Amino acid sequence: MERIEGTILAGRSFEPVDGNVVVEDGYITAIEETPARESDHDRIVLPAFVNAHTHVGDSVAKEAAVGLGLEEAVVPPDSLKHQQIEAADDETLIAAMHRTLRFMQRTGTAAFLDFREFGIDGATALREAASGLDIEDFIFGSDDSAVLDVADGFGASGANDDDFTTERAAAEERAVPFAIHAGEPDATDIHPALDLDPDLLVHMVHAEAEHLERVADQNVPIAVCPRANRVLGVGRPPIETLLEYTDVALGTDNVMLNAPSMFREMEYTAKTFDLSSRTVLRMATTAGAEAVGLDCGVIEPGRRAALLVLDGDSDNLSAVADPVDAVVRRASPLDIDRVIC
């Protein structure tokens, strides 16, 4: 048994509690509130992050797409991303993905939801890349339903790209989630995506009220990637409006476009959109976990102890007025004391 002491951002509301998180056999067994002791309250304990949308496969092509638009950079099958991945041998590709995942783990990410290209081979390579690391890999496979033999769900590129009816049916038969990109370049693929009754939508930059009413009726969570949308010039996701209709989670998208840092994604989101820090922190933790049923993303008894401990007395975080604001708007990997996954 271990007691992790500090200011704990506990429960779904992230209300600060001075005390201990009690961990036993990898699970949280209790949150003990203790009287404030000046010397013992220099740590901030929060849930480790859940990156709700990544493309780790293009780790071999970091910054290769600078200056390119959506279609040239990432749209299948002939984008620069796909060319770079196809050109890399397996050893190089797996090594590059492993280093990206190690960076994610070291910077506080406990789990990630990845859309992995190239079918069974792609999913298998990502599994190998994640081996030996304390990070949970939730893989949305591609190409055809056979990928579900090795993946955790199916990830479709977009309803305008192909007919995914067979893959949707296969995911439903296996009781695994079906996710799909929608509303990234424009709104034309949103209704067709919703016709597939997805378990997760990604992007929804151009979502309008008629789409969001369906989203609410179908109870579909959304993963947004505001930094990537900005880099590719596709627009600004209406996160404030999306949250009125459904749960919204935060992802970093393509590694070739942005470092998969949830610190950077949270700060950008908090300072670009009219959102509270608690809302952004929930998007970066609880919402991503709940989108696919992961047992992390919140500090409460019975949950897996996936925790991030920050040094609240670092040069960067000392004298902050509110620990939640500090985590979302200011903290960086340099402030990390421990990552517990």
Burial profile 253-288: b = 16 or more Cβ within 10 angstroms, e = fewer: bbbbbbbbbbbbbbbbbbeebebebbbbbbbbbbbb
Residue 130 and residue 195 in one domain: yes
CA pair distance 256, 60, nearest whole angstrom: 8
Q: What is the pTM of this model?
A: 0.96
Residue 148 and residue 227 in one domain: yes
Residue 146 and residue 18 in one domain: no
Q: What is the pLDDT averaged over residues 167-194?
A: 98
Residue 241 and residue 284 in one domain: yes
Q: Is the pLDDT of residue 75 over 90?
A: no
Residue 122 and residue 19 in one domain: no
Residue 41 and residue 57 in one domain: no
Residue 23 and residue 159 in one domain: no
| Contact of 241 with 306, CB cutoff 8 Å | no
pLDDT digits (tens, 9 = 90+) for 92-123: 999 999 999 999 999 999 999 999 999 999 99
Predicted confidence band of residue 38 (pLDDT cuts 50, 70, 90)? very low
CA pair distance 205, 108, nearest whole angstrom: 27
Cβ neighbours of residue 193 closer than 8 Å, sequence gap 6 or more: 156, 158, 159, 180, 181, 182, 183, 201
CATH number, position 322: 2.30.40.10
Q: Over the chain, what is the mean pLDDT?
A: 95
Residue 100 and residue 130 in one domain: yes
CA pair distance 189, 162, nearest whole angstrom: 11
CA pair distance 84, 68, nearest whole angstrom: 14
Q: Which of 303, 300, 262, 253 has its CA nearest to residue 280?
A: 262
Which helix (H) or strand (E) segment holds residue 188: the answer is none
Cβ neighbours of residue 7 closer than 8 Å, sequence gap 6 or more: 16, 17, 18, 41, 43, 44, 45, 312, 323
Say how many CA atoms lie within 13 Å of 313 toward its Cβ. 7
Residue 185 and residue 252 in one domain: yes
Say which residue, 293 or 66, is predicted with more confidence: 293
CA pair distance 237, 278, nearest whole angstrom: 19
Terminus-to-terminus CA distance in the chain, angstroms? Answer: 15
Residue 84 and residue 39 in one domain: no
Residue 141 and residue 185 in one domain: yes
pLDDT digits (tens, 9 = 90+) for 272-300: 999 999 999 999 999 999 999 999 999 99
State the total domains in the chain. 2
Q: Which domain holds residue 8?
A: 2-48+297-340
CATH number, position 231: 3.20.20.140
Residue 283 and residue 302 in one domain: no
pLDDT of residue 293: 98
pLDDT of residue 70: 72
Bridge partners (DSSP) of residue 310 are 44, 336
